[in-house]
Chain A
Amino acid sequence: ETGVTQTPRHLVMGMTNKKSLKCEQHLGHNAMYWYKQSAKKPLELMFVYNFKEQTENNSVPSRFSPECPNSSHLFLHLHTLQPEDSALYLCASSRDTYNEQFFGPGTRLTVL
């Protein structure tokens, strides 16, 4: 256990659905991240939050909408996704953005 939990672990959704991914960290960290891992591609950073403020958005389509209500929780709201958005979505946290990152187990998303 890394101290970072993600729910749900698996999600299947249609292109017109709206769903949310949840991440929670129990490490007292201030920075949280969303990454996308597609087959045969390196992990891609999507969003960074530091002290609840978004500091990075790596040109992510607006159909992905992050929310960070406090330093322990991070959400990724999904709507009108495409089949190519099917991937493993990983959440991570760190004490600050230059410290060691700890990852959750991921949510396996399938878009039909």
Chain B
Amino acid sequence: KQEVTQIPAALSVPEGENLVLNCSFTDSAIYNLQWFRQDPGKGLTSLLLIQSSQREQTSGRLNASLDKSSGRSTLYIAASQPGDSATYLCAPLRDSGAGSYQLTFGKGTKLSVIP
């Protein structure tokens, strides 16, 4: 059974700082990994998808890295802004059997960027 841990659970930083969110997972036999953000009471917005064969994926100020063998991924946010305040979720995808795939979610990191 896949277990996903995200550290820290909460993070508060001043505007403009660069920051790193960490994700670890127990089963390294993953197909890909998605990072999402969730605003309070809202649905999830996909930020980045990184394939198991990739080491990095970038979108604007966001950079995700993946070390599949050690079961780790990081999300780097450059020059943080108050609009980045949200909960960030990591979700590796693995084959659950019979060709069906499942995402497993961590509890997330709640980020607050202070103006």
> Which residues of B lie under 8 Å from residue A108 when comparing CB positions?
41
CB–CB A55/B98 < 8 A: yes
Taking CB atoms and an 8 Å cut-off, the chain A residues in 27-43 that contact chain B are 40-43
Q: Does A7 contact B (CB under 8 A)?
A: no
How far is it, in angstroms, between the C-alpha of A32 and the C-alpha of B12 when the chains are bound?
35
Our count of residue pairs bridging A and B at CB distance below 8 angstroms stands at 57
Contact A2 to B43, CB < 8 A, known contacts A98-B32, A101-B34, A101-B103: yes
CB–CB A56/B103 < 8 A: no
Mostly, the B contact residues are strand
How far is it, in angstroms, between the C-alpha of A106 and the C-alpha of B43 when the chains are bound?
6
Q: Does B49 contact A (CB under 8 A)?
A: yes
How far is it, in angstroms, between the C-alpha of A40 and the C-alpha of B91 when the chains are bound?
16
Q: Does A100 contact B (CB under 8 A)?
A: yes
CB–CB A90/B43 < 8 A: yes
How far is it, in angstroms, between the C-alpha of A106 and the C-alpha of B44 when the chains are bound?
9
B: number of interface residues (CB 8 Å): 27
Contact A105 to B105, CB < 8 A, known contacts A43-B89, A50-B100, A98-B32: no
How far is it, in angstroms, between the C-alpha of A98 and the C-alpha of B107 when the chains are bound?
22
Render A92-112 as a binary contact track against B, CB cut-off 8 A, 1 for contact. Answer: 100001101111111010000
Contact A98 to B93, CB < 8 A, known contacts A42-B105, A45-B102, A50-B100: yes
Interface residues, chain A, with chain B CB atoms under 8 Å away: 2, 4, 6, 40-43, 45, 48, 50, 55-56, 88, 90, 92, 97-98, 100-106, 108
Interface residues, chain B, with chain A CB atoms under 8 Å away: 4, 31-32, 34, 36, 41-46, 49, 89, 91, 93, 96, 98-108
What are 24 of the A-B contact pairs (CB < 8 Å)? A2-B46, A4-B43, A6-B43, A42-B106, A42-B107, A43-B44, A43-B89, A43-B105, A48-B100, A48-B102, A55-B98, A55-B100, A90-B44, A92-B44, A97-B99, A98-B31, A98-B93, A100-B34, A103-B44, A103-B46, A104-B43, A105-B43, A106-B42, A106-B43
